[in-house]
Amino acid sequence: MPRHPLIGITGREDTSARLHAAPMHAVGVTYTHAIQQAGGTPCILPPTLTEEDWPVLIARLDGLLLSGGEDIAPTLYGETPQPWLGRVDETRDHAELGLVRLWVSTGKPLLAICRGHQVLNVALGGTLTQDILTEVPEALDHAYVPSRPMERIVHQVTIMPDSHLAKVLGRTTLEVNSAHHQAVIQPGTGLRVVAYAPDGINEATELVDHPFCISVQWHPEAMAKTSETMRSLFEAFVQHARGD
Ligand code: MN
Say if residues 118 and 144 touch (Cβ distance below 8 Å). no
Candidates 28, 74, 66; CA nearest to 49 is 66
- 226 alpha-carbon distance from chain centroid: 20
| Contact call for residues 201 and 157 (beta carbons, < 8 A) | no
Q: Contact 113/120 with Cβ under 8 angstroms?
A: no
Q: From the CA of 142, how far away is ligand 1's center (Å)?
A: 5
Quote the ligand 1 centre to 179 CA distance (angstroms). Answer: 7
0.85 surpassed by pTM: yes
Enumerate residues 6+ apart whose C-beta is below 8 A from 168: 214, 232, 233, 236
How far apart are the CA of 150 and the centre of ligand 1, in A?
Answer: 12
Question: What is the set of active-site residues?
Answer: 114, 219, 221
pLDDT tens track, the chain, 244 positions: 668 999 999 999 998 877 767 889 999 999 999 999 999 999 999 999 999 999 999 999 999 999 999 999 999 999 999 999 999 999 999 999 999 999 999 999 999 999 999 999 999 999 999 999 999 999 999 999 999 999 999 999 999 999 999 999 999 999 999 999 999 999 999 999 999 999 999 999 999 999 999 999 999 999 999 999 999 999 999 999 999 7
pLDDT of res. 1: 61
Residue 57 pLDDT: 98
CA–centroid distance, 1 to ligand 1, in Å, is 38
Distance 195 CA to ligand 1 centre (A): 11
Centre of ligand 1 to C-alpha 199, Å, is 10
Residue type, 104: V
Between the CA of 59 and the centroid of ligand 1 the distance, in Å, is: 34
Task: With H, G, I as helix, E, B as strand and everything else as coil, classify residue 150.
Answer: coil
Of the candidates 107, 102, 153, 113, which has an alpha carbon nearest to the alpha carbon of residue 234? 113
Contacts of 113 (CB under 8 A, 6+ apart): 31, 65, 66, 67, 68, 215, 216, 218, 219, 220, 221
Q: Which residues pair with 176 in a beta bridge?
A: 155
